[in-house]
Amino acid sequence: MYTLSTEKLTKTFVELAQIPSPSWKEEKVLKYMIKRLKKNGGDITVYPCGISSNLLVRYEGTTNQPSILFSAHMDTVGPCDKITPVVTKTKITSDGNSVLGADDKSALTMFIEAMDYIKENRIKHGPIEFVITCAEELGLKGMKGFDTSVVNSKYAFVFDSGGDIGKIVHKAPFHLDMKISIKGIASHAGIAPEMGINAIRVLSKIIAEMPNGRIDEETTTNVGIIEGGRAANIVAEDASCLLEVRSIDKSKMIKIEKQINDIVKKICSQEGARFRIEKSLEYCGFSIPESAQISKLAVKAMERIGVKPSFVALGGGSDTNILNRGKIKAMNLSCGMEKIHSTGEYIKISELKKGTELVLSLIESV
Ligand SMILES: [Zn+2]
């Protein structure tokens, strides 16, 4: 249906991958994106965010189809000081010393190449928007710092999920971070242990009683960091831990949070310790039914290019979670990247091509 050049696609991807872009240091990739998207007719606005920037790129429509939004991030995890992409017959890998950065430069490539193709082949389309973010890997900081109300589109597709083209992430969890701090009483551990209250021991009892790991198919919790005490001969006065609770169902997340609160209260009162609980909602979840208009659009666009769609729920967050906060309906689509966040990261060239076809098909199907 679309006759894309494999060489051109590969070249763009390699050029992007070669530019190191750790979180907050995306400037060179930003410049590259501006150059390429300006060239094919994009109207570009740079929105400063933290010490970096997000990018909004608009293409005026030539038909009266509704506006459609695509999104991806520019930053990559490390190691990424020097990236040397290795192109084989079927895939692109790093040289083994760094990540490849297909997360998420595969998506950036697809966006550039799709717009080049539209321009070259004079394909008719409605208005198209791209939001290209910074600092996604640091906890979605770029998208969190972007005012999504400037976007015109009602439907958004984030290209930032692993695996072959065809995966539609229509559910992702709410994510709550919690910190539990316990205050005991310090005392000499050898001379007067009975005068002390050991905060480490109190916290251990709390953690042992707390729900842990997979609670059900859409709910998880984990204690990730624990700190406390000053020396082996002092009854520990302070101890704290950081934990997270995730669930696609907000009420389940709140229920676990309440359980944890109750356990902390109960054990601290039994042990005579004081406590403080801090919490912050990292991001909201989303759950879009398969019957929704945006789901039908994704399915139609995939079937049109011979891709079999499959709906999945994901346990992690992405810029999609933030986009879904407002009026926009957003889904996260797989963009062919594999073994992300590792030096074994790779992408099949056939998937790079399929993904670009999918961008084009979404634009034509909306
Ligand atoms: Zn990513």
Mean pLDDT of 131-151: 96
The tens digit of pLDDT for each residue in 322-355 reads 999 888 999 999 999 999 999 999 999 999 999 9
- Both tokens of 180, joined, read 């539990």
> What gap in Å lies between CA 6 and CA 352, rounded to an integer?
9
State the distance from the centre of ligand 1 to the C-alpha of 190, rounded, in angstroms.
52
Domain ranges of the chain: 6-172+285-365, 174-283
- Residue 162, CB-side half-sphere exposure with 13 Å CA sphere: 12
Give me the pLDDT at residue 350, please.
97
Percent of the chain with pLDDT over 90: 98
State the distance from the centre of ligand 1 to the C-alpha of 366, rounded, in angstroms.
25
> What gap in Å lies between CA 161 and CA 95, rounded to an integer?
23
The count of residues in the chain is 366
> What gap in Å lies between CA 159 and CA 167, rounded to an integer?
10
3-state secondary structure 309-354: CEEEECCCCCHHHHHCCCCCEEEEEECCEECCCCCCCEEEHHHHHH
Using a 10 angstrom Cβ sphere, with 0-12 exposed, 13-18 middle and 19 or more buried, the burial of residue 121 is exposed
Mean pLDDT of 241-270: 97
The tens digit of pLDDT for each residue in 268-314 reads 999 999 999 999 999 999 999 999 999 999 999 999 999 999 999 98
Give catalytic residues, as residue numbers.
75, 136
pLDDT band for position 230 (50/70/90)? very high
Q: Is 166 left (phi over 0), alpha (psi -120 to 50) or beta?
A: left
Average pLDDT score, the chain? 97
Name the DSSP letter for residue 188. Answer: B
pLDDT band for position 316 (50/70/90)? confident
Tell which CATH classification among 3.90.220.20, 3.40.50.300, 3.40.50.2000, 3.30.70.360 matches the domain 174-283. Answer: 3.30.70.360
State the distance from the centre of ligand 1 to the C-alpha of 5, rounded, in angstroms.
25
Number of other CB atoms surrounding residue 214 within 10 Å = 12
State the distance from the centre of ligand 1 to the C-alpha of 274, rounded, in angstroms.
40
Give the alpha-carbon dihedral of 74, 75, 78, 84, to 10 degrees: 20
Using a 10 angstrom Cβ sphere, with 0-12 exposed, 13-18 middle and 19 or more buried, the burial of residue 269 is exposed
State the distance from the centre of ligand 1 to the C-alpha of 242, rounded, in angstroms.
24
State the distance from the centre of ligand 1 to the C-alpha of 125, rounded, in angstroms.
27
6-172+285-365: CATH topology is Aminopeptidase (3.40.630)
